Structure 1
Amino acid sequence: MLSDPELKRLHWRAHHRGTREADMLVGGYFDANHAWWSAEQRALFSAMLEEQDVDIMAWAHGTAEPPERFSGPMIDQLKTLDYIRISR
């Protein structure tokens, strides 16, 4: 369980997006990566959570280019989609 209040807040926001697909995408990304984020990366993720789910999903699927401030390693990792757990 997360003990850091900021990480708890980010966890909740990442997992409660409004649609199951967005919860899986954004929440799964948080779960897979938050442990080694710096303060700057946390702030960038927090800013990304302010964006619309359809935009975040389009960036992850490569159907739209992210704004310059989000371009880079975070979006590159988001695009891998290998952090999403799916039952088989």
Structure 2
Amino acid sequence: MDDAKHLDRLKRLQFRAWHRGTREADYMIGCYFDRFHKEWGESELAWFEALIDEEDVDILGWALGTLSVPDEYAGPLMDRMKLLDYVEIPR
């Protein structure tokens, strides 16, 4: 993928991560993207793209441990999301 397409993809993902519909989801998903996306390769970006197509209530439930994580999202990226130490809430 050329650099311009890659940057457009990242901008789209960041926008979608930060415009979820609730402040809680914005912070959890947006901060997660901002903190880790620079470390991701193609498979991690594809995982995140699929994840953000899911409902916020499901994503938050998986990250908070109140819902079982589906097999397609289970693994190190979801394990990292569950730590929640990346969430920065402005005061």
In structure 1, the residue matched to 2:32 is: 29
> How many residue pairs are counted as aligned between the two chains?
86
In structure 2, the residue matched to 1:17 is: 20
Runs of 4+ in 1 over 6 A off after TM superposition: none
In structure 2, the residue matched to 1:38 is: 41
Question: What is the alpha-carbon root mean square deviation over aligned residues?
Answer: 1.1
Indicate the percent of aligned positions where both proteins have the same amino acid.
49
Structure 2 residue 83 is matched with structure 1 residue 85: no
Q: Is contact 2:27-2:89 (8 Å) kept?
A: no
Query: SS in structure 2 opposite 1:69?
Result: coil
Q: CA deviation at 1:86?
A: 2.7
Structure 2 residue 63 is matched with structure 1 residue 56: no
In structure 2, the residue matched to 1:47 is: 50
Q: TM-score, normalised by structure 1?
A: 0.93
Could you tell me which runs of 5 or more consecutive residues in structure 2 were left unpaired when the two chains were aligned: none
User: Counterpart amino acid of 2:24?
Assistant: E
Query: SS in structure 1 opposite 2:72?
Result: helix
Q: TM-score, normalised by structure 2?
A: 0.90
User: Counterpart amino acid of 1:67?
Assistant: P
Q: CA deviation at 1:14?
A: 0.2
Could you tell me which runs of 5 or more consecutive residues in structure 1 were left unpaired when the two chains were aligned: none
Query: SS in structure 1 opposite 2:67?
Result: coil
Residue-by-residue CA offset, 1:32-51 (whole Å, 9 max, x unaligned): 10001011100000000010
